[in-house]
């Protein structure tokens, strides 16, 4: 049992730490067939490769008439994305999940990338005993449960953690209250959203809740009876209920939640859940003080994100979204495009819409452009997975599709403070990368010297110091001075693993800039 002098939260963290230490030692000893379903003084997990009637035959607790609980999370389904096994049977320690996480690859990689810098005042020097956060060999549901478990044990309540990891579509929601929008903006700088068609049921032993993905691509129906019983399931009629006892029923909308606080005896609606957490901290003030939108910089309302170079951003007063000077004739423009290495595809599909509208062109998720293996041109590609159906209407398709870039996510697992907001520095179009140093260079080479002049300029002292080339202005080009092709102008200067790949878009081939 729990020691008398230890608080419940401390005891739960101690059990979480003990479970992780045991699992690490099993892995070091090569024991791969052992698993701890739950080690908590709030919840007990009963699971296995059964059908529903077999569960109480295997677990004697479930046959005891004195065994009672105020809540339960139940999951039954055959394995789809992974090979069936006892550890991967649901529910997990906190959640059960119907659907899939389409962003899993990126979520897992980002979590792995920040593990070495994770810090928490609650864990101190024991943080290393909690790594890796995501256990190898798990399903998408298991990986989300691993991260949710860490966030909850590091100080956030269950509903707050789920709002942080699986947010609703907030970026383009015009009717969203400003404090709630600031809540999502703040936490977007701490972690990436786990996105995909998903119906989630989760509990920490006190609160039982359900949430739907922001696209609403999985069904979630709820029923509330006159005696306070709340049933949420992926189908109607999972549990027989007398219709005369039903006081409310419906379906969860995209990004919506419903919860029951068994200790307080409250049924929490989506608005109540989110309002309580959005007003808990001054997120609006933190976000306003900690970020500089590129749109504001373009209007002159604030300093531009990057002061180096002295070039006005597109759409600013110095460059009001107009077509660049082409020396008055189409031949001059064509010559300039050729000199700077632009293709017809880039000129007509990317640059021309930007010149006309002053913003990046919107495009569909799929691509009909030749694959990299069949093309001699290098490209930056963003790996995406899209799940949709006939029920997706136009608004549902574009509302979740916000694109924003931020500086490095915070490594504080349990901290909510204004200092964390400094991580969300720039938005919408590009990111500032602290690993890059900018130095004015003449991004051209002596044309008469040919390849030798090119290579000589490329191996100059500026590039050996891991700086980035600035785009050569047209005034620096002449019949005797040709610009270095854009595929050679950028080099990633990551201190740990400098990237030598490049792209025809003039950025780092690894996607750093």
pLDDT in tens, 290-341: 776 666 655 655 544 433 333 333 233 333 344 444 445 567 777 777 777 7
Does 510 lie in the same domain as 451? yes
Does 88 lie in the same domain as 24? yes
Quick: pLDDT tens for 100-119.
Answer: 999 999 999 999 998 988 88
From CA 133, how far away is CA 111, in angstroms rounded?
8
Task: Using pLDDT thresholds of 50, 70 and 90, give the confidence band for residue 18.
Answer: very high
Does 278 lie in the same domain as 183? yes
* Beta carbons of 162 and 194 less than 8 angstroms apart: no
Any domain includes 312: no
Does 161 lie in the same domain as 207? yes
Any domain includes 368: no
Report, as an integer, the average pLDDT of 17-46: 94
Any domain includes 110: yes
Residue 204: what pLDDT? 96
Report, as an integer, the average pLDDT of 45-52: 91
Looking at the chain, the whole-number percentage of residues with pLDDT higher than 70 is 64
Q: Which of 302, 332, 357 is the last residue of a domain?
A: 357
Residue span of the structural domain in which 347 resides: 322-357
Backbone torsions φ then ψ of 96, nearest 5 degrees: -130, 150
From CA 97, how far away is CA 22, in angstroms rounded?
26
Q: Is the pLDDT of residue 422 over 50?
A: no
CA angle 296, 299, 304 (to 5 degrees): 60
> Most confidently modeled of 213-217, 354-358, 467-471?
213-217
Any domain includes 507: yes
* Beta carbons of 447 and 453 less than 8 angstroms apart: yes
Report, as an integer, the average pLDDT of 23-30: 93
Any domain includes 213: yes
Does 100 lie in the same domain as 38? yes
Please state, rounded to an integer, the average pLDDT across all residues of the chain.
Answer: 75
Does 194 lie in the same domain as 264? yes
Any domain includes 509: yes
Q: Is the pLDDT of residue 367 over 60?
A: no
Chain-centre distance for alpha carbon 209? 22
CATH of the domain at 44: 3.60.20.10
From CA 458, how far away is CA 481, in angstroms rounded?
14
Q: Which residue has the higher pLDDT, 476 or 290?
A: 290
Does 218 lie in the same domain as 105? yes
* Beta carbons of 319 and 312 less than 8 angstroms apart: yes
Any domain includes 382: no
Of all residues in the chain, what percent are helix, strand and coil, respectively (each to 5)?
A: 35, 10, 55
CB atoms within 10 A of CB 484: 20
pTM above 0.85, yes or no: no
Report, as an integer, the average pLDDT of 485-511: 37
CA angle 216, 221, 223 (to 5 degrees): 150
Does 326 lie in the same domain as 239? no
Picking from 318, 293, 288, the residue whose alpha carbon sits closest to that of residue 304 is 293
Any domain includes 473: yes
DSSP 387-404: ---TT--HHHHHTT----
Residue 147: what pLDDT? 97
Does 118 lie in the same domain as 246? yes
* Beta carbons of 144 and 97 less than 8 angstroms apart: yes
Report, as an integer, the average pLDDT of 478-507: 45
Whole-number Cα distances in Å, 344 to 190, 352, 486? 40, 10, 15
Does 166 lie in the same domain as 252? yes
Residue 282: what pLDDT? 95
Task: Using pLDDT thresholds of 50, 70 and 90, give the confidence band for residue 45.
Answer: very high
| Domain count of the fold of the chain | 3
Which of 27-31, 141-145, 148-152, 454-458 shows the lowest mean pLDDT across its residues?
454-458
Does 281 lie in the same domain as 191? yes
Residue 478: what pLDDT? 72
135 upstream amide cis, omega within 30 of 0: no
Does 353 lie in the same domain as 262? no
* Beta carbons of 318 and 309 less than 8 angstroms apart: no
Q: Which of 357, 382, 417 is the last residue of a domain?
A: 357
Picking from 150, 273, 153, the residue whose alpha carbon sits closest to that of residue 207 is 273
Picking from 71, 279, 100, the residue whose alpha carbon sits closest to that of residue 178 is 279
Whole-number Cα distances in Å, 493 to 12, 115, 291, 352, 433? 43, 21, 24, 31, 10
Q: Is the pLDDT of residue 495 over 60?
A: no
* Beta carbons of 8 and 16 less than 8 angstroms apart: no
Q: Which residues of 302-317 are buried (b: 16+ CB within 10 A; e: fewer)?
A: eebbbeeeeeebbbbe
């Amino acid at each position: 049992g729990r020691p008398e002098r230890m608080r419940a939260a401390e005891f739960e963290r101690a059990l979480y730490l003990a479970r992780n230490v045991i699992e690490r030692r099993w892995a070091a000893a090569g024991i791969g067939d052992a698993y701890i379903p739950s080690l908590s003084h709030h919840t007990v997990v009963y699971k296995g490769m059964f059908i529903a009637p077999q569960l109480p035959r295997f677990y004697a607790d479930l046959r005891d008439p004195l065994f009672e609980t105020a809540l339960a999370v139940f999951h039954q389904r055959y394995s789809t994305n992974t090979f069936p096994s006892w550890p991967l049977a649901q529910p997990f320690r906190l959640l059960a999940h119907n659907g899939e996480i389409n962003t899993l690859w990126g979520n897992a990689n980002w979590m792995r990338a920040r593990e070495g810098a994770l810090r928490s005042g609650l864990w101190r020097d024991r943080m290393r005993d909690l790594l890796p956060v995501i256990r190898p060999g798990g399903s998408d549901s298991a990986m989300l449960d691993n991260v949710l478990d860490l966030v909850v044990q590091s100080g956030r309540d269950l509903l707050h953690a789920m709002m942080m990891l699986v947010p609703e579509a907030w970026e383009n929601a015009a009717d969203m209250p400003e404090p709630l929008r600031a809540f999502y903006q703040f936490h977007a700088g701490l972690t990436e959203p786990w996105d995909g068609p998903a119906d989630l049921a989760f509990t920490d032993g006190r609160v039982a809740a359900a949430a739907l993905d922001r696209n609403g691509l999985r069904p979630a129906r709820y029923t509330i009876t006159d005696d306070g019983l709340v049933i949420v399931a992926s189908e109607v009629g999972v549990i027989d209920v007398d219709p005369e006892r039903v006081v409310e029923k419906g379906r969860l909308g995209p990004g919506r939640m419903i919860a029951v606080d068994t200790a307080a005896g409250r049924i929490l609606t989506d608005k109540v859940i989110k309002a309580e957490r959005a007003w808990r901290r001054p997120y609006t003030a933190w976000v306003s003080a900690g970020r500089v939108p590129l749109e504001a910089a373009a209007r002159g309302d604030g300093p531009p994100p990057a002061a180096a170079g002295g070039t006005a951003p597109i759409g600013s007063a110095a460059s009001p979204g107009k077509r660049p000077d082409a020396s008055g004739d189409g031949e001059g423009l064509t010559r300039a495009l050729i000199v700077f290495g632009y293709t017809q595809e880039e000129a007509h599909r990317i640059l021309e819409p930007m010149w006309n509208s002053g913003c990046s062109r919107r495009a569909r998720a799929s691509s009909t452009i030749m694959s990299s293996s069949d093309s001699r041109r290098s490209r930056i590609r963003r790996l995406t997975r899209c799940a949709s159906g006939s029920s997706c209407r136009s608004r549902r398709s574009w509302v979740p599709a916000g694109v924003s870039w931020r500086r490095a996510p915070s490594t504080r697992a349990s901290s909510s403070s204004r200092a964390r907001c400094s991580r969300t520095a720039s938005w919408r179009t590009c990111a500032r990368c602290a690993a890059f140093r900018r130095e004015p260079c003449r991004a051209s080479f002596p044309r008469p010297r040919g390849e030798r002049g090119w290579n000589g300029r490329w191996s100059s002292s500026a590039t050996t110091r891991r700086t980035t080339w600035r785009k050569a202005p047209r005034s620096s080009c002449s019949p005797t001075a040709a610009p270095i092709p854009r595929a050679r102008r950028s080099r990633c200067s990551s201190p740990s693993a400098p990237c030598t790949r490049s792209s025809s878009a003039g950025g780092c081939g690894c996607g750093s800039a």
